[in-house]
Amino acid sequence: MNLMTYARRNIFRRRGRTILTVLGVALTILIFSGMRTVVAAWEAGAEEARADRIASRHKNSIVMLLPKRYVDDVRAVPGVDSATYAVWFGSKDPKKRTEFFAGFAVDHESWFQVMDEFELAPAALEEWKRTPNGAVLGDLLAKTLEVKVGDRVTIQSDIYPGDWEFVVKGIYKPLRKTADRNSFIFRWDFLNNDPRGDVMRDQIGWVLSRIKDPTQSAAISKQIDTMFDQRDDQTLTQSERAFQLGWLGMFSSLLKAFDIVTLIILLVMALILANTIAMAVRERTHEYGVLRAIGFQPGHIVGFVLGEALLVGALGGLVGIVFTVLLINGVIGPAVEDGMGAWFPYFRAPFKVIAMAFGAATLAGVLAGAYPAWQASRRKVTDALRRID
């Protein structure tokens, strides 16, 4: 036996109450993990961004365009291995089979060379390069739009009027679990040559460059921006991660709301635990008096109460993690990836979320036990011995 034996045994003294508390904590941990998984899935692209890629966009805003000729200037910068470009198309499915998917007009010569997290059969790539109105789709999007190589597909745009008809020339697969499998990629020159694209003629949304030495990322970015400093359109060049986070920044209010709800959930969890621990401490006031009488110090009482609170919190956290793995990773995750792959190509609770959930549960336990522990330790021994519940 050691000092923790007493704290450990106390957990199941009121079995029903402890089980309900553990389940309460476990459910809040499940909700917590679910919400953090949404945020983590949202940011996954940025988290797994390549260190050897940098992105240049208009200095003022991501929605403003750059002259297409900038690409050649970027390619000439020392340290830049290759560069490609794209422009946002604002795609819509006229048949409403999906609410949202990403559509880009890209440089067909260099896109897959720089974006090497996608796998496209060499024959399909060659075929696409030969076909001005050819399109390459992510495998999940192809499934949603019910198309295969050789099919014709019509999409619309929020930006460009009318129907846009393409021939599917390839279906790419991801080589990285967080890579987007729901993009619709077609040739920039096709958009540029269409009269409906006049408003943005010879302009591009951003340049993506692969650099030879990732440690030179900041220096090369600065060099690119300095190069365009005196031109009409200045650039902002960032690491791919910062660039992705810039995109996500447009949804920052939503993410902040998630953060606030997450905090409220943690508060609820702490209150559930505090209620249980406060009841247990009140019931054991006399017992703590006995322990103090036989020589245990106030610090020991704090240790017993905090130890018990921490163990209940940790137990709730563990059960919550089991729920998370079974429900989020096993059931909800695959369903989300199938149905909302454009937003969440990879929807599983990552290790950091699980670790955070467990840490939150144990921390909530300690916080919940702090006040009752302090109270129990401060009570006069003779008062505690008089108290019989």
Partner 1 sequence: MAPEDKNDGKNDGKNDGKNGNGSIVTLSGITKTFYRGKEPIPVLEGLDLDVPTGSFEALMGPSGSGKSTLLNIIAGLDRPTKGTVKVAGSDLTHMSDGELAKWRSQTIGFVFQSFNLIPVLTAAQNVELPLLLTGLSSAERKKRVATALRVVNLEDRMDHFPRQMSGGQEQRVAIARAIVNDPKIIVADEPTGDLDRKSADDVLHLMEQLNKEFGKTIFMVTHDPAAAERASVQRKLDKGTLV
Residues that bind partner 1 (CB under 8 A): 1-3, 5-6, 9-10, 13, 286-287, 290-298, 381-382, 385, 388
Nearer to partner 1, 255 or 381 (CB): 381
Label each residue of the chain as H, E or C.
Answer: CCHHHHHHHHHCCCHHHHHHHHHHHHHHHHHHHHHHHHHHHHHHHHHCCCCCEEEEEECCCCCCCEECCHHHHHHCCCCEEEEEEEEECCEECCCCCCCCCEEEEECCCCHHHHCCCEECCHHHHHHHHHCCCEEEEEHHHHHHHCCCCCCEEEEEECCCCCCEEEEEEEEEEECCCCCCCCEEEEEHHHHHHCHHHHHHCCEECEEEEEECCHHHHHHHHHHHHHHCCCCCCCEEEEEHHHHHHHHHHCCHHHHHHHHHHHHHHHHHHHHHHHHHHHHHHHHCHHHHHHHHHCCCCHHHHHHHHHHHHHHHHHHHHHHHHHHHHHHHHHHHHHHHHHHCCCCCCCCCCCHHHHHHHHHHHHHHHHHHHHHHHHHHHHCCHHHHHHCCC
Minimum Å distance from CB 279 to partner 1? 16
Nearer to partner 1, 14 or 59 (CB): 14
Nearer to partner 1, 5 or 230 (CB): 5
Minimum Å distance from CB 13 to partner 1? 6
Q: Rounded to whole angstroms, how far apart are CA atoms 225 and 206?
A: 13
Nearer to partner 1, 299 or 330 (CB): 299
Nearer to partner 1, 107 or 308 (CB): 308
Minimum Å distance from CB 294 to partner 1? 5
Nearer to partner 1, 2 or 230 (CB): 2
Minimum Å distance from CB 295 to partner 1? 2
Q: Are strands 80-88 and 206-211 parallel, antiparallel or unpaired?
A: antiparallel
Minimum Å distance from CB 302 to partner 1? 13
Q: Are strands 206-211 and 53-58 parallel, antiparallel or unpaired?
A: antiparallel
Nearer to partner 1, 78 or 295 (CB): 295
Minimum Å distance from CB 373 to partner 1? 17
371 within 8 A of 274, measured Cβ to Cβ: yes
Minimum Å distance from CB 282 to partner 1? 16
Nearer to partner 1, 32 or 296 (CB): 296
Minimum Å distance from CB 280 to partner 1? 12
Minimum Å distance from CB 367 to partner 1? 25
Minimum Å distance from CB 386 to partner 1? 9
Q: Are strands 102-106 and 164-174 parallel, antiparallel or unpaired?
A: unpaired
* Residues recorded for the chain: 389
Nearer to partner 1, 199 or 388 (CB): 388
AA identity, residue 253: S
Nearer to partner 1, 290 or 331 (CB): 290
Q: Rounded to whole angstroms, how far apart are CA atoms 216 and 368?
A: 48
